[in-house]
Structure 1
Amino acid sequence: MIEVKHIDKPDERRDFPNGHLEVFTMTGLTVGRATFEPGWRWSESLRSIAGTELCQFHHNGYIAQGRLRIRMEDGSEAEVGPGDMFVATPGHDAWVVGDEPCIAYDFSSGMDEYAKAKD
């Protein structure tokens, strides 16, 4: 089997304050491409959608553009930028650093539900 999708043709788009998520679904893999605009912060833009105080998704990510700061529940922090790969476990907040949009690719299994409004 071989399956090919073009990055310009996502299967779904989920809009939220100061950003959006494009979802690509393939056999055994869901990939998210998030665009976070300057001023985006998870606790302000997605908390009401998620219904939790902190993000409870596990992220396996790659930053293509911009910068993102991630703060874990225990207070530890890291900043990621273009070319950085990262893993962030459940229990974190994140926000855009600077005045450039952050484009992040996420290869986590939870992307099929991330930023999806609860019914």
Structure 2
Amino acid sequence: MHNITLILLTKNEQENLSKWGDWIDKLIHINEIIVIDSSSTDNTKLILKSLESKRLKIKIFDKKFNDNFTNLRNFAVKHAINDWILFLDADEIPSSKLINYLNKLNLDNNYCYS
């Protein structure tokens, strides 16, 4: 079975990320989170590291945003170990309907979802 890499761009997202522990473990196919952080001065990185487990690995890269999200996302994709990528913002919390849908995906097929 294939897995999903979640890609996240952050800067001082402590408040938003503190809510991620309630749902991130429910996404069974996500085994990697790649974070591109732009010099956070709060506990963003500490909270992200607290989400890491045997199943879920978190890679954090420090890079300035420079108003070019495309370059940052492309950088993150190059470091992903999985073929499937999910982009989220720190303030986005997937609904239970979306979590159930993602968990039911057959990631071994040749179809593209969007």
Structure having the higher helix fraction is 2
Structure having the higher strand fraction is 1
Greater RCO (CA < 8 Å, at least 6 residues apart): 2
User: Same fold by TM-score, threshold 0.5 exceeded?
Assistant: no
Please report the TM-score for the alignment, with normalisation by the length of structure 1: 0.29
Please report the TM-score for the alignment, with normalisation by the length of structure 2: 0.30
